[in-house]
Amino acid sequence: MPVSTLALLLILCLLIFLGLIESWLHRNAISKIPIRIHVNGTRGKSSVTRLIAAGLRAGGIKTFAKTTGSSPRFIDSNGDDHVIQRFRPASIGEQIRMISRFAKHSPQAIVMECMAVQPQYQWVSEHKILQSNYGVLTNVRADHLEEMGYSLNHIAKSLSNTVPFNQKFFTSEDENYQVLKDKAIKNNSNFSLSSGSQLDKKFLNGFPFIEHPDNIALALDICEELGVENDQAIKGMRKMIPDPGALTVTKLSINNSSIDFVNAFAANDPQSTLKTWNIIFEYIKGSRKTAVFLNTRPDRQVRTQQLLDLVFSSMKADHVIVRGDNLANDVKSRHENMNKIDYTIFSYDDSSSKIINKISTLDDYLIVGIGNIVGWGEEFMKKLKGYKND
């Protein structure tokens, strides 16, 4: 046998051996964690992951969690945040390493946000990596269309790859739940549907940030299933550190104007944006006038048109600020044909200071930022917080 062939065989055998060792180590780590909760969905995964973990900790269950939202974090058993430093592109292998890390601390429970987008990787994340006994899916929205399909039905089928076998599955998706329910039945898992509209409003108060009722209801149902009463779990949830992309209200003082700014940039699809707007309208608007600041993306033209339709047809704020190029005709036509809402347009080249000066003219307004948080949006929020009125 040629030396080169022998060397290749030895390398192949070594790789197989190392793979078997890694597989054994992972199974051993999984066996040390009795409660494993896997959170998937289009919107709200990070928030629900944190809510569940906080509720379980309040019930005396030693719980670790990992989120992959606006900024990847792991949350220890005391509820403290730790930034995950990545020195390579994100991959689902990160979940294996985190489970191994958690197992060393003998947790009673872990709550992991699904980080896979491709359907096949979602399946691997659940059935080969986490092997959850409590599957969670927040909602089904039109996002990642290239990877998951161009209809909500296709997206629901893709997300259903994380429904566990022979376990329990929870969701707050109230429109496209039948696909999820059918998958749960096929996988011999119990199906549970949570609804924020059915939740006692006392559970929606007391948060230092804005949280979706569906997210709270979903997290409470899972905590209750694990023996933590609602009144106990909600105390932990109210004290938790929110995700960096959470809905927060920042009180600003700019050029003698007082303004409340809601960072809702993370809700960048029309359905989630409207739900967020309705929550803001119901719980914190009061008698103030409102403005929408739409920060668009040049590579998301279809999404931009959808959000413009939403802003002018359904949100009906008192003023609209749009940041983007070549949108004057689009905005003008909606202003003339839908609702004659006052508007201001800025280009991508306009400075943040110029936009902030415009915002300062909207004294006593509640302004809601939507569209896109990545890149410019993050930097803009940092600058805006320089005007924070404590």
pLDDT tens for each residue of 348-370:
999 999 999 999 999 999 999 99
Report, as an integer, the average pLDDT of 193-217: 90
Give Cβ neighbours of residue 125 (< 8 Å, ≥ 6 apart). 38, 92, 95, 114, 115, 116, 162
List Cα–Cα distances, 221 to 8, 57, 212, 224, in angstroms. Answer: 53, 15, 15, 5
- Per-residue pLDDT band for 19 (boundaries 50, 70, 90) equals confident
Q: Are 147 and 102 in contact, with CB atoms under 8 Å apart?
A: no
Q: Are 102 and 64 in contact, with CB atoms under 8 Å apart?
A: yes
Share of the chain above pLDDT 90, in %: 60
Q: Is the pLDDT of residue 215 over 60?
A: yes
pLDDT tens for each residue of 175-186:
999 999 999 999
* Whole-angstrom distance, CA of residue 126 vs CA of residue 112: 10
- Per-residue pLDDT band for 1 (boundaries 50, 70, 90) equals low
Average pLDDT, the chain: 90
Find the largest Cα–Cα distance for the chain.
85
- Per-residue pLDDT band for 142 (boundaries 50, 70, 90) equals confident
CA angle 346, 349, 353 (to 5 degrees): 70
Please give the model's pTM, rounded to 2 decimal places: 0.78
* Whole-angstrom distance, CA of residue 255 vs CA of residue 265: 24
Q: Are 168 and 134 in contact, with CB atoms under 8 Å apart?
A: yes
> Which pLDDT value is given to residue 248?
80
List Cα–Cα distances, 46 to 92, 103, 114, 119, 229, in angstroms. Answer: 16, 21, 9, 19, 22
Q: Are 244 and 84 in contact, with CB atoms under 8 Å apart?
A: no
Q: Among 84-88, 252-256, 312-316, where is mean pLDDT lowest? A: 84-88
Buried b (16+ CB within 10 A) or exposed e, 117-138: eebebbbbbbbebbbbbbbbbb
List, in sequence order, every beta strand (DSSP E) within 244-360.
Answer: 249-254, 257-263, 289-295, 319-323, 342-346
Report, as an integer, the average pLDDT of 291-302: 91
> Which pLDDT value is given to residue 151?
87
Domains in the chain, please, with CATH?
29-239 (3.40.1190.10), 249-387 (3.90.190.20)
Q: Is the pLDDT of residue 338 over 70?
A: yes
pLDDT tens for each residue of 89-115:
777 888 899 999 999 999 999 999 999
Sole residue written with tokens 């960072």: 263
If we measure between CA atoms, which residue out of 360, 355, 312 comes closest to residue 336?
312
* Whole-angstrom distance, CA of residue 65 vs CA of residue 107: 10
Give Cβ neighbours of residue 103 (< 8 Å, ≥ 6 apart). 28, 29, 30, 32, 33
Q: Are 333 and 309 in contact, with CB atoms under 8 Å apart?
A: no
Q: Tell me how long the chain is.
A: 390
* Whole-angstrom distance, CA of residue 51 vs CA of residue 237: 5
> Which pLDDT value is given to residue 243?
83
Q: Are 188 and 212 in contact, with CB atoms under 8 Å apart?
A: no
Q: Are 225 and 233 in contact, with CB atoms under 8 Å apart?
A: no
